[in-house]
Amino acid sequence: MTQFLGTVAVLVWKDLKLEFRSRDILVSVLVFGLLVALLFSFALKPSPGEGARLAPAILWVALAFSGTITVTRTFVREQEQGGLEGLLLTPASRDAIFLGKALTSFLFMLAVEAVLLPAFSALLAAPLLSAGIAVTAVLATLGFATLGTLFSAIAVQTRSREIMLPVLFFPIILPLLIGAVESSAHALSGGGFSRWLPLMGVFDALFLVLCPWAFGAIMEE
């Protein structure tokens, strides 16, 4: 177990170091997210009441697309530099490799959300800085990063990966995104924690069990 966690930590540390030096994921994703918030803000000019009604959909569209860029880039970087082949030649467990990559994407997405949530809150005039939204964001991001990492690993080995990832990934992640939108709407209407949250937790648990197993099977060849 210690070795397993050690491998996960080594992989995350490596990815954080690479990102700190290249900044090619966080900067592009942040710019994209902020641009979406700015465009919707100018286009809709929402009043506080309208903002609370529109914010869940706008927020999760922006986070879904920025999350897709994040999970894709983490694997594309491995593929471009041959690192994935290098990782698979080590005795490191496939589960640990998968969870290391998923955890990296999860951390990157949380970092982006920590910047985007206050920005969306200000630009859409919606109170997005609440405990209900924070729990929703963490649960949705965990599931998104886990399943996204698996599909990214599949898509990165195909020629048309930019097309393959959304086509394969979004139909399966849709229930979790619907849960995130509903739960965010519930929190913004002052209802606190939504009944969607346990369901999102179940999705996360399912993805965390199935995805590492599927990754191991896919990476066999």
Partner 1 sequence: MVAMVNKPSGVNPPAIQVRGLSKSFGDRLVLRDLDLEVSQGSFLALFGANGAGKTTLLRILSGQARADAGSVMVAGCSLPKHATTVRRRIGVVSHRGLLYDDLTCLENLVFYGRLFSLSDPVAQARQTLQRLALDSHASQRVRTLSHGQQKRLAIARAILHRPVLLLLDEPEAGLDRDSVNLLEGLLKDWTAQGGTVVMTTHDQARGAAWAHRAVVLADGHIHEQDAVQVERRS
| Residues in touch with partner 1 (CB under 8 A) | 3, 6-7, 10, 14, 17-18, 21-22, 81-83, 85-93, 220-221
Smallest separation (angstroms) from partner 1 to the CB of 104: 14
Q: Residue 196 corresponds to which amino acid? A: W
**Of residues 163, 159, 133, the one with CA closest to residue 68:** 163
Smallest separation (angstroms) from partner 1 to the CB of 91: 4
Nearer to partner 1, 127 or 216 (CB): 216
Residues found in the chain: 221
Nearer to partner 1, 6 or 198 (CB): 6
Nearer to partner 1, 53 or 94 (CB): 94
- For 163, other C-beta atoms within 10 Å of its C-beta total 11
The answer to whether 116 and 66 are in contact (CB under 8 A) is yes
Smallest separation (angstroms) from partner 1 to the CB of 139: 31
Nearer to partner 1, 3 or 189 (CB): 3
Please give the Cα distance from 164 to 171 (Å, whole number).
12
1: exposed, middle or buried (Cβ count in 10 Å: 0-12, 13-18, 19+)? exposed
Smallest separation (angstroms) from partner 1 to the CB of 86: 3
